[in-house]
Amino acid sequence: MRRPGLSSQFQLFLIIAAFFSCTQVLFAREPNESFFVWGPEVNGLQAAVEFIPEKWAYKQDEKIGIVFHVRNVSDSRIQFVTSNWRNEDKCIIKDPNGNEIHCNHTIYLGWVDTNRIFLYPYEIVSIKSSSFGIAKNNSQSFGHPVGHYAYLKPGRYLLCYQLRFPDIRSSALPDEPNDWIGTLETGKRKLFVYVDRQEPNSLGKQ
């Protein structure tokens, strides 16, 4: 005997699976909004940057995962185009005296997914991006998947990003008249950097 409602449940599963397959740019994880620092509103949108993982401090030579959150603070739907690598964004880092630290930028030439996002009032979308690397000296560099990296001495800094929309233009996803076009700055996040002072290897010692 066939269980009632089984087919409808299966159809719902297919709908959910299709939704997630079409929105690869979205970060399928519940964001920790307690760490969000929202930037200024620009034409109905605000942005924040999240560190993955969120910690009180990060050591030199560490790679920090980056996720951008964009929210609609207007009373109408807003659409924009974004990729899941965010090649054209600018990373801004300042020391406690307000001096800007040089930030290196690696352009990724591989294939990236591009999506048009439709964001309704009060909705938030999470966008994956490249990682941020903390270099331990001026000559250190990082490879994929790091997009931005900087030599940071131990201390505290303020970090934010300027997000450009669209960051990638593609014939597969041509511009539409209602697309949001412009630059959106995230809120400034505190970034504490320390030196990892590991103990000497004691293997073989009694």
What is the pLDDT, as a whole number, of residue 138?
A: 92
Q: Say which CATH architecture domain 39-194 belongs to.
A: Sandwich (2.60)
Q: Any idea where the domains of the chain sit in the sequence? A: 39-194
What is the pLDDT, as a whole number, of residue 29?
A: 52
Of the candidates 134, 141, 140, 126, the residue with the CA atom closest to the CA atom of residue 159: 134
> How many residues are there in the chain?
206
Report the amino acid identity of residue 79. Q
Average pLDDT over residues 188-205: 70
Of the candidates 42, 81, 84, 86, the residue with the CA atom closest to the CA atom of residue 178: 81
What is the pLDDT, as a whole number, of residue 90?
A: 96
Q: Using CA atoms of 106, 36, 98, 194 in order, give the dihedral in degrees to the nearest 10.
A: -70
The least confident of 9-13, 32-36, 166-170 is 9-13
